[in-house]
Amino acid sequence: MIPAAFDYVRASSLTQAIDLLRNDPDGTKLLAGGHTLLPSLKLRLASPALLVDIGDLAELKGIEISETGIRIGALTTHAELFASLPLNEQLPLFRQAAGLIADPQVRNRGTIGGSLANADPAADWPAVMLALQAEIEIAGTSGFRTILARDFFVDIFSTVLEADEILARINIPRPTAGTRFVYRKIRHPASGFAVVGIAIALRLSQNLVSEATIGVTGAANHAFVGEDAADFLIGKTLSRENIDQAARLLSEATECLSDRYASADYRANLIQVELKRALLALTP
């Protein structure tokens, strides 16, 4: 399969890339890892006039760990997130989630920024970012703006990004000491994407849940925070009954997708199963 012809510019600065996007917002696409874009070009699902390769932009690379939090450049690959020791010392959730994405060769090219900006409803990182209460840093014509991950995803393949904006970095606040994390998914056997995926950050004090954030992917039009279920768990033990009730609440609050992989009813059931398994994995 051969993509339709396009112009190509290898951007040498973020400003240049933004200017090119602004010149022709409808006809221009950014190229990072290319593992969603190139297949869609080959299938002629997209035929942009211009590809702007942002692969050289150093300001979009790297993982920085400080006292206050973690900063991840949008071009960081799944493989880098899997392998980074300092990152996984703080948040082993990254290794757990990255290891469940696609396969080794795809992880060597695909980027976290590309995954988030593409907003595939079945992508893994969105759920993880929600559980970690991440903030997305966006570069545009008038500088940078930030938005919480929970406000970033709008619909299927749709985010708050404007046509002349670039997802630049992800900022993750340092979690409270003692917070435990998990990411689990029902993996589609062919695509590797999440039919349903659940990420949880949870803290217990004296066997009672003191903090809980639940990120869900695969189930609905876009990744979302399971607020009712998390609120319900606060102040409670992780007993069988409480876990069952949280799972029911999460499932009831979700308007589930129905597609050729899974019906809405099946997904509503999978949400319950996966939330229970995820909470059991966090039970000491």
Partner 1 sequence: MSTREERHTVTFEINGARKTVAAEARRLLVHLIREDLGLTGTHVGCDTSQCGACTVEIDGLAVKSCTVLAVSAEGASITTIEGLTPGTDLDPIQAAFHEHHALQCGFCTPGMVMSVRQLLKDQPAPSEHDIRRGLAGNICRCTGYHNIVRAVESLASKGEQS
Binding site for partner 1 (CB under 8 A): 1-8, 10, 31, 34-35, 38-39, 41-43, 49, 51, 53, 55, 79, 102-106, 108-109, 190
Is 12 known to be catalytic?
yes
User: Would you list the DSSP string of 219-255?
Assistant: SSSS-EE-HHHHHHHTTS---HHHHHHHHHHHHHT--
Distance from C-alpha of 190 to C-alpha of 171, rounded to nearest angstrom = 32
Residue 117 or 136 having the CB closest to partner 1: 117
Distance from C-alpha of 111 to C-alpha of 107, rounded to nearest angstrom = 8
Quote the least distance from Cβ 96 to partner 1, whole Å.
14
Cα dihedral 224→225→227→232 (10° resolution): 120
Residue 2 or 177 having the CB closest to partner 1: 2
Quick one: how far is CA 189 from the chain centroid? 20
Residue 36 or 171 having the CB closest to partner 1: 36
DSSP conformation class of 77: B
Quote the least distance from Cβ 112 to partner 1, whole Å.
16
Quote the least distance from Cβ 256 to partner 1, whole Å.
27
Quote the least distance from Cβ 68 to partner 1, whole Å.
32
Residue 1 or 177 having the CB closest to partner 1: 1
Give me the active site residues, please: 12
